[in-house]
Amino acid sequence: MAVKEELKKLGLHFIVVDLGEVEIMEDISIEQREELKSALASSGLELMDDKRSMLIEKIKNIIIDMVHHSDEMIRVNYSDYLSEKLNHDYTYLANLFSEVQGTTIEHFIISHKIERIKELIIYNELNITEIAFKMNYSSVAHLSNQFKKVTGLSPSHFKKLKDKRRSPIEEVGLKKVLIPKVKIKVNKIFSGVKII
């Protein structure tokens, strides 16, 4: 909504190509571009005119759509699917994604699949065998091993937890920088007793 309003304010003609993607029908001046960029930023949005950034966003959107919003998981290789959808060689897409995101496409897909599996476990509408099939795992063992590797828990243990430990979609697949814990040793003498 905000994007359409800003484009209308600037008197620009446009078509909505895809979610988060708009094609402007005419050339825009540098001033209009800056004004649009500023207006979008004030709404918490970003104007992407860098082809690499746009391609990364398309990769993410396809994966998120495929994993979270599709009733049927694709039954083809993800690399072939992405290459076909984006008209680029998978090696190029994988290298670009890794360079910009700091993680691989495969890890990004796995992270999203695990979040989707958590969601399906929480909904409690499918058993683990049905979830494995729905999420395109070769077996329940494969799903369980990958789930435990990512979460540290088996799917059944996760199901028993009261705190379901889900992550927002925006944070899935991004590397988190952990700050190591620092041990502090305190030597203090209190009333003639040394406390360590």
Clarify whether residues 71 and 138 are in a common domain.
yes
Residue 95 token pair: 């290298």
pLDDT score at 182? 45
Average pLDDT of the chain is 81
Clarify whether residues 101 and 148 are in a common domain.
yes
Domain count, the chain: 2
- With a CB cutoff of 8 Å and minimum separation 6, the contacts of 154 are 144, 147, 148
pLDDT score at 166? 62
Clarify whether residues 42 and 86 are in a common domain.
no
Domain of 177: which CATH number?
Answer: 1.10.10.60
Structural domain of 116: 50-196
pLDDT at 77 over 80: yes
Q: How far apart are CA 46 and CA 59, in angstroms?
A: 17
Clarify whether residues 98 and 163 are in a common domain.
yes
Clarify whether residues 89 and 119 are in a common domain.
yes
Largest pairwise CA distance in the chain:
83
Clarify whether residues 39 and 55 are in a common domain.
no
Rounded to an integer, the average pLDDT of 140-151 is: 96
Clarify whether residues 55 and 108 are in a common domain.
yes
Q: What is the pLDDT of residues 7-17, one digit of tens each?
A: 788 788 887 75
pLDDT score at 190? 46
Q: How far apart are CA 107 and CA 100, in angstroms?
A: 14
Q: Would the pTM of this model clear 0.75, i.e. be above it?
A: no
Clarify whether residues 168 and 141 are in a common domain.
yes
